[in-house]
Structure 1
Amino acid sequence: MGGITMTAKAGDHTQHRQPDGSAWPMPPQDGYTVDDYFALDLPPHTEMIDGSLVFVSPQRKFHSLVMFLLELGLRQTIPEHLRVRREMAVILTHKTVPEPDLVVVTAESDGEDELTRYQASDVVLAIEVVSPDSESRDRDTKPLKYAAAGIPHFWLVEMDPRTKRPVVHTHIRSATGHGYEPTGVHRDRLKVDAPFTIDIDLGEYDRL
């Protein structure tokens, strides 16, 4: 997910502006917390990374189409004890609340329609579609934090510069919990057995 980071440095009055030009409340000395994040009236899809707020940039068509393709594909084979959700907040720590592009969560944790967040322990798979302005977060920052929080599976999706189609990099959490280990690179077809049996024709992207 693309975005612009708003740092949480006390005393900096120039970086904390809402879209209408009015000022955000000054962040605490040590940055925002989960309680702050859900209490503030934030723009849709704002994330919090290490106490700093990250505002999203306009979404590219590629990003939107890939999310649709993967969500549809996941729903075709997802077992009854799991659910697929898009752009939902996930609490990793008391200062980090990202919003993965897609998540697979346990049905038990899915709750009522008013649900606004999941815990990291609810998430089986987190998926990020790389955006130009959030490349380092999608490739480095978020995977490390997802793994540290115990999320077992992670997919990173990027655009193939040659074909303009999606490429899906699948990963499993390392035994040490320090990041993920690659399990495959999928271009034409995404066919895996974990976290459940999945078979998605990535070539369908051309027909969306």
Structure 2
Amino acid sequence: MTALPDWMRPPRAEGWFAEDLDRLPEAPRHTELIDGALVFTMSPQRSWHGRLVTALTTALMAQAPAGVEIEREMTVRLDARNRPEPDLLATTAAYDKDRTWYALDVVPFVIEVVSPESAHRDRTVKLRKYAEAGIPHYWCVEEDEGEPVVHVYELDEPTRSYAPAGIFRGVLSRPVPFEIALDLGDLVPRQQG
């Protein structure tokens, strides 16, 4: 086995902290921090995932009210030892070309599009972490025979856990976090027969 490169060694015995991610230019592009450990997305991205994220970005940008921006693949600082990177997020923060992460108080909504490599994290770890951190809305988008299926969650403030708000196929219509109406079938190309 070859030795780890120096940049992969935690800077302290307690592991990594949120601010350390900005000091790792050698790290792969989609590096997240979960419980003080670096998590790398190393598997190739599937076309379905990339196209769905792009289509969702475009659709949500068109429906977002003034003062709400949609970003993709930006980390959110949940606490000192957690800085996950959702596929999409809504933010009320002003645009800053040098921004590398968002603070919790300006992120009311995150979306994860499940891939085989991220399935466990998206369905369990991130679902729990986003809720405990207080993000009001979470969507976990799954694939069913090439079609998107959106599992929608809303935060139950007293318990700091998510309550399921519906599973959407075909059409998604939601009044929160802002008025959203999506034809889910239009978000990805149909399979060629």
Output the TM-score relative to the length of structure 2.
Answer: 0.90
Q: Equivalent residue for 1:112?
A: 96
Contact 1:150 1:177 (8 Å CA) reproduced: no
Question: Aligned partners of 2:109 and 2:22: how far apart in 1?
Answer: 23
Question: Aligned partners of 2:2 and 2:164: how far apart in 1?
Answer: 37
Contact 1:124 1:151 (8 Å CA) reproduced: yes
User: 2:63 is matched by which residue type in structure 1?
Assistant: T
| Deviation readout 1:133-155 (Å, 9 max, x if unpaired) | 22111011111111111110000
Deviation at 1:25, TM superposition (A): 4.4
Q: Equivalent residue for 2:35?
A: 50
Contact 2:71 2:91 (8 Å CA) reproduced: yes
Q: Equivalent residue for 2:176?
A: 194
Q: Equivalent residue for 2:7?
A: 24
User: 2:165 is matched by which residue type in structure 1?
Assistant: T
Paired residue secondary structure (1:90): strand
Identity of aligned residues (%): 40
Question: Aligned partners of 1:60 and 1:15: how far apart in 2?
Answer: 29
Output the TM-score relative to the length of structure 1.
Answer: 0.84
Higher relative contact order (CA 8 A, sep 6+): 1
Deviation at 1:26, TM superposition (A): 2.1
Q: Equivalent residue for 1:125?
A: 109
> Does the alignment pair 1:167 with 2:167?
no
Contact 1:16 1:26 (8 Å CA) reproduced: no
| Deviation readout 1:124-176 (Å, 9 max, x if unpaired) | 1000011112211101111111111111000000001xx32110111100132
| Deviation readout 1:28-55 (Å, 9 max, x if unpaired) | 2211012222112222110010110011
Q: Equivalent residue for 1:184?
A: 166
Unpaired stretches in structure 1, ≥5 consecutive residues: 1-13
Paired residue secondary structure (2:117): helix
User: 2:152 is matched by which residue type in structure 1?
Assistant: T
Q: Equivalent residue for 2:135?
A: 151
User: 2:95 is matched by which residue type in structure 1?
Assistant: G
Deviation at 1:86, TM superposition (A): 0.3
Deviation at 1:23, TM superposition (A): 4.2
Question: Aligned partners of 1:85 and 1:124: how far apart in 2?
Answer: 12
Question: Aligned partners of 2:126 and 2:106: how far apart in 1?
Answer: 17
Deviation at 1:65, TM superposition (A): 1.3
Deviation at 1:58, TM superposition (A): 1.6
Cα distance change on mapping 1:25 and 1:63 into 2, 3 Å: closer
Question: Aligned partners of 2:2 and 2:167: how far apart in 1?
Answer: 39
Question: Aligned partners of 1:136 and 1:169: how far apart in 2?
Answer: 15
Paired residue secondary structure (2:96): coil
Contact 1:190 1:198 (8 Å CA) reproduced: yes
Contact 2:55 2:188 (8 Å CA) reproduced: no
Q: Equivalent residue for 2:20?
A: 36
Q: Considering only aligned residues, what root-mean-square deviation do their CA atoms show, in Å?
A: 1.8
Q: Equivalent residue for 1:140?
A: 124
User: 2:48 is matched by which residue type in structure 1?
Assistant: F
Deviation at 1:206, TM superposition (A): 4.4
